[in-house]
Amino acid sequence: MQFQYTIHPLPKTSPKKTAVVTPSAAPSSRCKAVIVILLSWLLAWHPTLAMTLGKVVTWLWLNFRRA
């Protein structure tokens, strides 16, 4: 059984516009990520406290579940 591969040549022109690198994540999504990481660390040592704090966070921040 032999495979045939197609190799496309690279374009000879470079892009005219260079992309500007900006932080892609919004501050709220970064905050959600930090909260989840902290709760996961806490879950390793004090599971009941982590579960309680997780419920408090989702109760106070209603849109947190959509993260």
Query: What is the chain's pLDDT, residue by residue, as a tens digit (67 residues)?
Result: 677 777 777 767 766 666 665 666 666 778 878 888 888 888 888 888 888 888 887 787 776 666 5
Fill in the DSSP letter of residue 59: H
Reference 43, options 29, 57, 53, 31; nearest CA is: 53
Q: What is the reported pLDDT for 18?
A: 65
SS3 content of the chain, % helix, strand, coil (to 5): 55, 0, 45
**Domain coordinates in residue numbering, the chain:** 27-66
Reference 35, options 15, 60, 17, 4; nearest CA is: 60
Is the Cβ–Cβ distance between 34 and 12 less than 8 Å?
no
